[in-house]
Amino acid sequence: MSAVIGQKCPDLGVSEWVQGAPTSLEKEKDHIVLVEVFQVNCPGCFMHAIPEAIDIYNKYKDDGVRVLGIATAFEDFDKNTLENLKMLAETGEVIGETKNALSMYGQLQDGSKLPFKIPFPLGMDNLTKVDGNVSQDQIMKFIYAQLPEFDSQPEDYRNQIIQRVKDHFKSKEYSAETFEKFSLQGTPSTILIDRKGILRDVSFGQSGPLEPMIKKLLAE
């Protein structure tokens, strides 16, 4: 079941909760739920998105807002692993490009550890091994989710996009359930669900209006 804004939100795909009690959207009903989707090897996730999610958690945890972190993988499958997520949760240690970027900006302790503790539950997206083979229908569904106006584009451009998507699927080692169910474009991404379990927003990158949206949901 694919997620559609304005409709009942499907549950998250989680292979393992590495921090906090195992949960689900059904268990979180009657709460506003913010899901922060990140990759362990994603500098922007740790420089901007996760600190923002922590700020939301600290401000609104007593007002019925739940924050959940889901680590996914759509690239760098050797780094965006369950093992590295567990290490992050247990020790605060980061790896790869995240470590390099945070170190460059002087944002690490002891050379490799975050200066802050992520306080909310953390789970790993449900990854399934794939062989790179994909049908034309799957390719077009992926394209339309990202480019609704695809059919109105010039033929040369459409052919380029189709080839890029084919190459993308060929390079994939795993299919990530939550990432694909919500048609995410990358990380960091946020998923926002209201108290009735309705999906209200899915955003990629810098989420400036996130706090105003949460305030609006709290007022409903």
Can you list the domains of the chain with their CATH numbers?
14-126+177-219 (3.40.30.10), 131-171 (no CATH)
Q: How many CB atoms lie within 10 A of CB 123?
A: 27
Let me know the angle formed at the C-alpha of 123 by 18 and 4, rounded to the nearest 5 degrees.
170
Task: Output the six-digit token pair for 27.
Answer: 């268990």
Q: How confident is the model at residue 20 (pLDDT cuts 50, 70, 90)?
A: very high
Q: Going by C-beta distance under 8 Å and a sequence separation of 6 or more, which residues neighbour residue 183?
A: 2, 3, 145, 146, 202
Amino acid making up residue 187: T
- Please report the pLDDT score of residue 207 as a whole number: 58
Report the distance separating Cα 104 and Cα 168, nearest Å: 30
Per-residue pLDDT of 44-97, as tens digits, reads 999 999 999 999 999 999 999 999 999 999 989 999 999 999 999 999 999 999
Report the distance separating Cα 189 and Cα 32, nearest Å: 17
* Weakest mean pLDDT among 85-89, 106-110, 143-147, 151-155: 143-147
Q: Going by C-beta distance under 8 Å and a sequence separation of 6 or more, which residues neighbour residue 34?
A: 53, 56, 65, 66, 67, 68, 190, 191, 192, 210, 214
